[in-house]
C-alpha cells in the first residue's frame, strides 16, 4: 500500500468492493494501512442488480466486512438492464454512484481493486480496438474525476497474492460467474491467456508494456498542456478561442473532447486532417467556426448533439460538462441549453455569436427561460452556482505511470 502516499495523517479512504477476492483483499489492506496512521476506511459495496443472486451476495459481503471490522455501505443500482453496451452502462452507473457516495461522506480518495492481470487484459482490449499510444497506457494508478480521486494501488500485484491473503486470514469471498463469461471480450481474453493466477510471464510482460506506454503518455500530456496553454483561451461557459495555425493532433483532440463533454478521445485519424489545417467543421460533438472579433477559431459545442434538459438539483450534471455546485434557489427548474431563445439574447450580447449563445447552459421553468448563468454579473451567486466540469479536462496532471 506504499503507492498510496503521500498522505497527511489520519487518511479517510473509500474502497469499491464487489465481493470478489480482489476488492475484498484491498479493503483489508486499506484498513490496515489507514489504521496505522489513525485513519479510517469505508467499503462501498455495489449491487448492480443484474443477477438474481446479486442482492444476497452483496448482503453476504457486508456481513463479511463487518466481521473484519470494516465499515460498509450498500449501493444498489437501479435501472440497469441486459442489452447493448451493458458493461459500459454498468461502469458509468457504478462510478456515478460511487462518486456520489464519496461526496456524501466527504471522502476524496476512492480505491479500486484492479490488479496486474486486469491491466494486462485492458492492454489486450485496447490493442484489439486499435487504440493509439494514449489508450495503450491502459489504467492509471491515479485518476482525477472531479470531486473524487481514483487510486489503483494493486496494478503491480498478481491476483493470486490477493487470494492468498484472504485464505491466510480465513476470509471467504464471492466468485462472480460473469468474470469467466466467454460472451464478453474480457472473458475470452482471460481464457486465452490461460493464467488464472496472474503470475505468468505473459501477464507480467503485458503489464510492463502498459507501464511503458504510460510513461510515453505522461510525456505527451506535458507537451500537450504546454501547447494548449499558449494556443487556447478556455471560457468557463464551455467554449474556447483557438489561435490560428496547425495544432498537434493530441492537443486538438483534447480540446474537442473538453468542449463536447466526451468521455473518451476521438480516433486519431478523424482529427488528423483538421489539426493540420483547421477549418469550419463539426467533429465529435464540437464545432470550429471563425472568430469574428479575434484571429482564430471559436470551438463550440454542437447544438444538435447536446443533452436534453435535466432537473436542476444540487450536484446534477448536464451534457457531460456542467455541474450544479449550489442550489438554484427555486424548486422545479430544469437545466438545459439556451437553444432558440438565443435570438432574444442577441441584442443584449451582440458580441456573442448566435451559434455560441444557443449552446450556453440555462435554467428553465417549463418553457420559460429563467436565467443564463454564464451571462450573469461576474461574482454573482447565479454565475458561481454552475461549474464547467467536462468529463475530460483540457489539460491537467500528466498520466501517472506505474
Q: What SS3 string covers 117-155?
A: HHHHHHHHHHHHCCCCHHHHCCCCCEEEECCEEEECCCC
Domain spanning 2-211, CATH architecture: 3-Layer(aba) Sandwich (3.40)
Q: Is 192 exposed, middle or buried (0-12, 13-18, 19+ CB in 10 A)?
A: exposed
pTM, 2 dp: 0.78
Q: Is 184 exposed, middle or buried (0-12, 13-18, 19+ CB in 10 A)?
A: middle
The residue among 356, 391, 392, 395 whose CA lies nearest residue 374 is: 356
The residue among 367, 244, 246, 353 whose CA lies nearest residue 301 is: 353
For CA atoms 254, 257, 258, 262, the dihedral sign is negative
- Any idea where the domains of the chain sit in the sequence? 2-211, 308-388
What gap in Å lies between CA 62 and CA 55, rounded to an integer? 11
- The values of phi and psi at residue 56, to 5°, are -65, -40
Q: Which residues contact 174 (CB under 8 A, 6 or more apart)?
A: 18, 19, 20, 57, 60, 61
Specify whether the CB–CB gap between 320 and 262 falls below 8 A: yes
Tens place of pLDDT per residue across the chain (402 aa): 444 555 556 789 999 998 899 999 999 999 999 999 999 999 999 988 878 888 999 999 999 999 999 999 999 988 777 887 777 788 888 888 898 899 889 999 999 999 999 999 999 999 988 887 788 999 999 988 777 899 999 999 999 999 999 999 999 999 877 676 777 777 788 878 888 888 889 999 999 999 999 999 999 999 999 999 999 999 999 999 999 999 999 999 999 999 999 988 898 889 999 999 999 999 999 999 999 888 999 999 999 999 999 999 888 889 999 988 887 778 899 999 999 999 989 888 888 899 999 999 999 999 999 999 988 876 666 666 889 989 888 987 778 877
Query: 258 vs 91, 320, 336, CA distance in Å?
Result: 21, 9, 18
Specify whether the CB–CB gap between 30 and 15 falls below 8 A: yes
Amino acid at each position: 500500500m506504499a503507492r498510496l502516499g503521500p498522505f497527511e495523517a489520519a487518511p479517510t479512504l473509500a474502497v469499491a468492493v464487489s465481493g470478489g477476492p480482489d476488492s475484498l483483499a484491498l479493503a483489508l489492506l486499506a484498513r490496515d494501512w489507514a489504521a496505522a496512521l489513525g485513519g479510517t476506511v469505508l467499503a462501498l459495496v455495489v449491487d448492480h442488480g443484474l443477477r438474481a443472486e446479486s442482492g444476497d451476495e452483496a448482503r453476504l459481503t457486508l456481513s463479511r466486512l463487518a466481521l473484519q471490522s470494516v465499515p460498509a455501505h450498500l449501493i444498489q443500482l437501479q435501472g440497469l438492464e441486459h442489452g447493448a453496451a451493458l458493461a459500459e452502462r454498468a461502469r458509468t452507473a457504478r462510478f456515478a454512484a460511487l462518486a456520489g457516495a464519496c461526496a456524501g461522506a466527504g471522502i476524496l480518495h476512492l480505491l479500486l481493486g484492479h490488479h496486474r492481470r486486469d491491466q494486462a487484459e485492458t492492454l489486450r482490449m485496447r490493442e484489439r480496438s486499435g487504440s493509439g499510444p494514449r489508450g495503450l497506457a491502459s489504467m492509471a494508478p491515479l485518476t482525477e474525476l472531479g470531486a473524487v480521486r481514483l487510486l489503483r494501488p494493486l496494478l503491480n500485484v498478481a491476483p493470486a497474492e490477493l487470494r492468498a491473503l484472504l485464505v491466510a486470514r480465513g476470509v471467504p469471498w464471492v466468485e462472480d460467474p460473469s468474470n469467466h463469461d466467454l460472451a464478453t471480450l474480457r472473458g475470452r481474453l482471460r481464457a486465452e491467456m490461460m493464467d488464472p493466477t496472474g503470475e505468468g510471464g505473459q501477464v507480467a510482460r503485458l503489464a510492463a508494456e502498459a507501464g511503458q506506454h504510460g510513461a510515453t503518455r505522461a510525456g505527451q500530456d506535458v507537451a500537450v498542456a504546454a501547447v494548449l496553454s499558449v494556443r487556447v483561451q478556455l471560457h468557463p461557459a464551455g467554449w474556447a478561442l483557438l489561435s490560428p495555425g496547425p495544432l498537434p493532433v493530441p492537443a486538438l483532440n483534447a480540446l474537442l473532447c473538453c468542449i463536447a463533454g466526451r468521455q473518451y478521445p476521438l480516433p486519431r485519424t478523424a482529427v488528423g486532417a483538421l489539426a493540420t489545417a483547421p477549418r469550419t467543421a463539426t467533429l465529435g460533438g464540437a464545432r470550429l467556426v471563425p472568430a469574428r472579433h479575434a484571429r482564430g477559431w471559436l470551438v463550440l459545442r454542437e447544438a444538435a448533439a447536446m443533452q436534453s434538459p435535466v432537473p436542476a438539483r444540487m450536484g446534477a450534471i448536464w451534457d457531460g460538462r456542467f455541474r450544479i455546485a449550489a442550489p438554484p434557489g427555486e424548486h422545479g427548474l430544469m437545466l438545459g441549453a439556451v437553444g432558440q431563445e438565443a435570438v432574444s439574447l442577441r441584442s443584449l450580447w451582440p458580441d456573442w455569436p448566435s451559434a455560441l449563445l444557443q449552446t450556453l447552459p440555462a435554467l428553465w421553468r417549463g418553457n420559460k427561460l429563467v436565467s443564463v448563468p454564464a451571462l450573469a454579473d461576474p461574482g454573482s451567486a447565479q454565475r458561481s452556482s454552475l461549474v464547467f466540469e467536462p468529463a475530460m479536462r483540457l489539460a491537467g496532471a500528466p498520466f501517472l505511470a506505474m
